[in-house]
Structure 1
């Protein structure tokens, strides 16, 4: 799990470098101004493109042939590595759906606002997690409710 999250963070960091530019959203401008929306739109599209590129590479490796390790320990290790890779790609497939949802919210003018409270999510949170749909407080309350439900 930590590896998949680290991979997700690395891909997001790469997307941020890819869009480059001197512009970074700031609290000094109007919240969700056109420039901020454009920044997040470009970031989300770059993030999605990088995920799809990595997925295509994994698919190509799978099509190149099965694991042909003569040693059973080497084969088991390779199969474990592939299992981790495929779980990471599945997680990223779900992430793409969240990215598409964020892009839709930008187009509809809902991006950057909490789906629970309607309050601004905040630039810091959106820069760290561009697919965020709730403020930190609303997310924490949601997670507490989930934990209580699981404990019952």
Structure 2
């Protein structure tokens, strides 16, 4: 659902603008606007992270497949079977965490394209350029992040 100027004014959350120019990305009052080079650095970092995470997931899936193959062997004692189960559970948990991080990185790239990168997903205020540069997948301003962590 696309926001209009009226819904933007009512909610305080800027409407998506299509592909954003660097100077259009949100910053806190007093911060310098995003330069094209800074925006491209953020995009490059996120793209590299997506590639790295996809490779990690493929590696983890291959490890789980190997553990499942090895686990189907009826040989070995209970301790060996238990160790294999622990390894398999660890690889599955690692893959799940990696998939979550991958989704966050892909969403950050989408927000860059939409022009909503750097805006808090809860309150719509700017997150802060320095925070976005330090943690490019951030989706919450510091106030909302602290509220979330207190829950």
> Same fold by TM-score, threshold 0.5 exceeded?
yes
Ranked by relative contact order (alpha carbons within 8 Å, sequence separation 6 or more), the top structure is 2
Give 1:53 deviation, angstroms.
Answer: 0.5
**Structure 2, unaligned runs of 5 or more:** 1-30
Give 1:31 deviation, angstroms.
Answer: 2.9
Change (3 A) 1:31 1:85: farther
Aligned twin of 1:31: 33
* Bigger Cα Rg: 2
Aligned twin of 2:45: 43
Quote the Cα distance in structure 1 between the aligned partners of 2:113 and 2:39.
9
**Structure 1, unaligned runs of 5 or more:** 1-28, 148-152
Give 1:141 deviation, angstroms.
Answer: 2.2
Partner residue of 1:95 out of 101, 107, 124: 101
Aligned twin of 1:104: 110
Q: TM-score, structure 2 length as denominator? A: 0.66
1:53-86 deviation line (CA, Å, top 9, x unaligned): 1111122233342335613212212211210111
Q: Which structure features the higher share of helix residues?
A: 1
Change (3 A) 1:127 1:70: farther
Partner residue of 2:138 out of 132, 143, 148: 132
Quote the Cα distance in structure 2 between the aligned partners of 1:48 and 1:128.
17
Give 1:52 deviation, angstroms.
Answer: 0.9
Secondary structure, counterpart of 2:96 in structure 1:
helix
Give aligned pairs, total: 118
Query: What is the alpha-carbon root mean square deviation over aligned residues?
Result: 2.3
1:20-57 deviation line (CA, Å, top 9, x unaligned): xxxxxxxxx83332222111111111111111111111
